[in-house]
Structure 1
Amino acid sequence: MFSNATLFLARRYLRAKRSFVSIITVISILGVTVGVVAMIVIGSVMKGFEGEFRKTLIGSEPHILLHPQGGKPVEANATAELLAKVKQQPEVMVASTYALGAMFAEHDGGQSAMRVLGLPEDTAKFYMAKIATHRLDGKLELTPGGVVCPDYLAGQINAHPEDVISVFASSNVTSAVQRFRTASDEQDEKKRHAAYKEIKLHPKEIRLLGVTKTVSAGPYGYASLDTAQQIFGLGTQVHGVLIELKQPGEVKAVIQRFKDAGLIPGGWNESLWTDEGDARLAAMSNERVMMNIVLLIIFVVAAFSVMNTTITVTTQKRREIGVLTALGTRQSQIVGIFVSQAAFVGLLGTLMGLVLSGVVLRFRDEIRMGIAVLNGGSANADSGMFLANIPAQIEPWFIVVTCIGSVLLCLLAALPPAWLAARVDPAVALRD
């Protein structure tokens, strides 16, 4: 019986005397709405950016590279036993030998450098399919005598697919520099000039097959294993074994199982895709945590608006509270009136925030383009760029926790003023 009276009084106190809805009630509801929208939208977008960045790293970096300590190349047949064991592991999708090194390229008067990953035919097809979404121009088919390069290098040497470029290994440059220094120290002029004439870089002519996006596919260039061996002067040698996993996120656990099982030969080391990405992923994760702290502060501010509403109502209704207390109303029932009021504000504000956040996430790219136009930019200025669209990863558990937390904060914010109002002496309240 009294629970109905409690709810009746709670609804009545939310209304202004001369209007249907109190202004301070509207402000409180909007405060909760803004807090919920900020928490859900920003949390989902930050999670989306982290997820897209993780997928980009997994999609462009080799998952595992096994190589002899010091990076010295080995004969390809020396890796046969290791390859056979690795391919039998259920976690492994693809495994093969590889060659990896720095290469200088020259074309049309421009020079630049990149790291080139050489792959055998079968693995090359798999790997090119893996980075197919990052293709910018040309074809991603590693035919002999050709190379796929990142767009930064193609731009620096003004090269396009089907152009023939001159390339040479970094070891050739290092050797030429050493010979130049030796020649410079020669005191005899004739011998010095003769030594200068012997300095040659021995470039090779290869065809540019395709171009990838550096910002998403990374700075790697790609070539067939035979082509890479020729460029780096390896003969039949390779640098190690490349492994692609079915579950790249478990790479650390997989490599530990390989070590425990004795699959990795003594004197060999491993390079994981997480070696390059962990620091950046950790930075993004820390940024998301800090953003959640900021959003929590926004939530607390919204809760204070609910507390302000409760304080205002308890002050305005001080005499009525005194009358209720004099008539025998228990303190818990007085508290219930104002907590019910806060529950109404919290539930309505949370529901509105949930609906509005869904709308914002649904039209987030259109909103971004609208803001760009209002700021004098073009709506399609970022078209084709990496993450030109705003990513978002919506997690149901996060939304549920946000909504429950919003309502609980409103209830907690209403308790202190409600408890103080319930302790008012009826004689004092009626006298005032």
Structure 2
Amino acid sequence: MLSNATFFLARRYLRAKRSFVSVITVISILGVAVGVLMMIVVSSVMQGFEGEFRKVLIGSEPHILLHPQDHKPTAVQPVEAALSKLRAQPEVLAASSYVSSVMYAEREGSQSGMDVFGLPEDGARFYMAKIAKHRLEGSLELRDGGVVCADYIAAQLNAHANDKISVYASSNVTSAVKRFRVATDEQDEAKRHAAYKEIKLHPQELTLLGYTRAEIAGSYGYTTLKTAQQIFGFGDQVSGVLIELKQPGEVKDIMKRFTAAGLIPAGWSASLWTDAGDARLAAMSNERIMMWIVLMIIAVVAAFSVMNTTITVTTQKRREIGVLTALGSRQSQIIGIFVSQAAVVGTLGTVIGLALSGLVLWLRDDIRMGIAVLSGGNTDSASGMFLATIPAQIDPAFITLTCLGSITLCLLAALPPAWLAARVDPAVALRD
């Protein structure tokens, strides 16, 4: 009976005398709803951005590159020995040898540089299929004498699929610069002119097979292993081993297991896909932590609105509290009235905030479009571009924790004023 009376009074105090619900109750519920809405929406979008960036890295970067620590070309024999062991590992999806270096390209006076991977037939078939969905023009099927590059490289060269471009290794440029310096220091004019004439880059002609969208497929160029070896003067040597994993998110743990099992040749090191974005991923993680701190402050502010409501109600109902105490109500029962009131406010606010957050996440791109229209911004979102739409990653565990935390904060916020109200002397309360 006392419990029913507690909840009856809690519901009654939430209502105004002449309306269905009091204004301060509505404000409190909306405060809690906004806090829950902000926490869920912002956290989901932040996790979505981080998740999309990870997907881009995983989809464009080689998962693992094994190579000598000095990055010099190595003979085929140790590479083949390492490949035979690595391909037998259950974590490995595909593995092949590769050649990697910097190549400069030129066409009709326009120049550009790119990091190039030379891949054997089996590695090329698998790796190019990985980035095939990002193709913009031409073909990604590698063949000798051809190259695939990023779209901005093709734009700098003003080249399209099947156009011819002249390429030369970065080592040729370094050698030419050294010879130029020597020629410049030559005092004899005849010898100096002769030295200048000896400076040549020895370009080779390749066919541009096609190009990909750099922002989501990376900025690398790709050729066959044989073509790369010819351009860079590697002969029969290669740069190392390229590995694709079934679970690329576990790359660091997998590398530890490979190292412990002795699968990495002595004197070799590894470059992981995470290396390309470690700084950015760390920055995004720090941003998310700081955002959570801000959101927690918003949640605390919402809880203070509940506390303010409780303080207002306990002040208004001071005489009734005195009557209840005089009739024998215990302090715990008085506290229960106002904590129950806070529980109703917290639950309603949390449910409304949860519903609104789902609506906002569902309509997030439409909302972005509306804001762009009102602000005069760009409303175009090219299909296939990185983050052409607002990403969101919904974490049920985080949402559950947010909802429970919101209700708990409301209950805790109501305790101090409820406890103070329960300690009022009934004689003083009735006299006021």
| TM-score (normalised: structure 1) | 0.98
Report if the CA contact (8 A) 2:381-2:389 is conserved: no
Q: Which residue of 2 aligns with 1:123?
A: 123
Distance 1:17 1:78 in 2: 87
Distance 1:362 1:430 in 2: 53
Q: Which residue of 2 aligns with 1:179?
A: 179
Distance 1:15 1:335 in 2: 18
Amino acid at match of 1:390: I
Q: CA deviation at 1:383?
A: 4.6
Distance 1:420 1:223 in 2: 77
Q: Which residue of 1 aligns with 2:136?
A: 136
Matched position secondary structure for 1:223 = strand
Amino acid at match of 2:416: P
Amino acid at match of 2:306: V
Report if the CA contact (8 A) 2:78-2:265 is conserved: no
The more displaced of 334-343 and 88-97 is 88-97
Amino acid at match of 1:39: M
Q: Does the alignment pair 1:255 with 2:255?
A: yes
The more displaced of 97-106 and 281-290 is 281-290
Q: Which residue of 2 aligns with 1:400?
A: 400
Matched position secondary structure for 1:111 = strand
Q: CA deviation at 1:296?
A: 0.6
Distance 1:240 1:344 in 2: 64
Distance 2:308 2:133 in 1: 53
Matched position secondary structure for 2:277 = helix
Q: Which residue of 2 aligns with 1:367?
A: 367
Q: CA deviation at 1:381?
A: 4.5
Q: Which residue of 2 aligns with 1:355?
A: 355
Q: CA deviation at 1:382?
A: 5.0
Q: Does the alignment pair 1:4 with 2:4?
A: yes
Q: Does the alignment pair 1:194 with 2:229?
A: no
Distance 2:162 2:386 in 1: 25
TM-superposition CA deviations, 1:258-298 (whole Å, max 9, x none): 22222222111211112222222111111111111111110
Q: Which residue of 2 aligns with 1:280?
A: 280
Matched position secondary structure for 2:70 = helix
Matched position secondary structure for 1:385 = coil
Amino acid at match of 1:165: I
Distance 2:69 2:308 in 1: 67
Amino acid at match of 1:133: K
Q: Which residue of 1 aligns with 2:94?
A: 94
Q: Does the alignment pair 1:73 with 2:110?
A: no
Distance 2:60 2:118 in 1: 14
Write the mapping of 1:29-428 to structure 2, written as runs, cut at 5 A. 29-428=29-428
Q: CA deviation at 1:307?
A: 0.4
Distance 1:323 1:69 in 2: 83
Distance 2:23 2:78 in 1: 80
Amino acid at match of 2:362: R
Distance 1:384 1:269 in 2: 35
Matched position secondary structure for 2:90 = coil
Amino acid at match of 2:12: R
Amino acid at match of 1:397: A
Amino acid at match of 1:237: Q
Equivalent residues, number: 432
Distance 2:285 2:102 in 1: 32
Report if the CA contact (8 A) 2:372-2:378 is conserved: yes
Amino acid at match of 1:394: I
What runs of 5+ residues in structure 1 fail to find an aligned partner?
none
Matched position secondary structure for 1:386 = coil
The more displaced of 270-279 and 86-95 is 270-279
Relative distance call for 1:168 and 1:19 in structure 2 (3 A) is same
Amino acid at match of 2:193: H
Matched position secondary structure for 2:105 = strand
Distance 2:349 2:386 in 1: 36
The more displaced of 289-298 and 157-166 is 157-166
The more displaced of 302-311 and 59-68 is 59-68
Distance 2:47 2:122 in 1: 35
After superposition, the CA RMSD in angstroms is 1.2
The more displaced of 393-402 and 272-281 is 272-281
Distance 2:343 2:157 in 1: 66
Amino acid at match of 2:317: K
Amino acid at match of 2:278: D
Matched position secondary structure for 1:11 = helix
What runs of 5+ residues in structure 2 fail to find an aligned partner?
none
The more displaced of 208-217 and 313-322 is 208-217
TM-superposition CA deviations, 1:304-335 (whole Å, max 9, x none): 00000000000111111111111111111100
Q: CA deviation at 1:208?
A: 1.1
The more displaced of 293-302 and 263-272 is 263-272
Q: Alignment identity in percent?
A: 74
Distance 2:263 2:344 in 1: 63
Distance 2:12 2:245 in 1: 63
Amino acid at match of 1:226: K
Distance 2:183 2:378 in 1: 57
Distance 2:255 2:357 in 1: 42
Q: CA deviation at 1:377?
A: 2.6
Q: CA deviation at 1:136?
A: 2.4
Distance 1:403 1:3 in 2: 25
Distance 1:28 1:210 in 2: 60
TM-superposition CA deviations, 1:19-65 (whole Å, max 9, x none): 21101100000000001111111111111111111111111111111
Matched position secondary structure for 1:18 = coil
| TM-score (normalised: structure 2) | 0.98
The more displaced of 328-337 and 243-252 is 243-252
Amino acid at match of 2:220: Y
Report if the CA contact (8 A) 2:63-2:245 is conserved: yes
Distance 2:256 2:114 in 1: 31
Q: CA deviation at 1:17?
A: 1.7
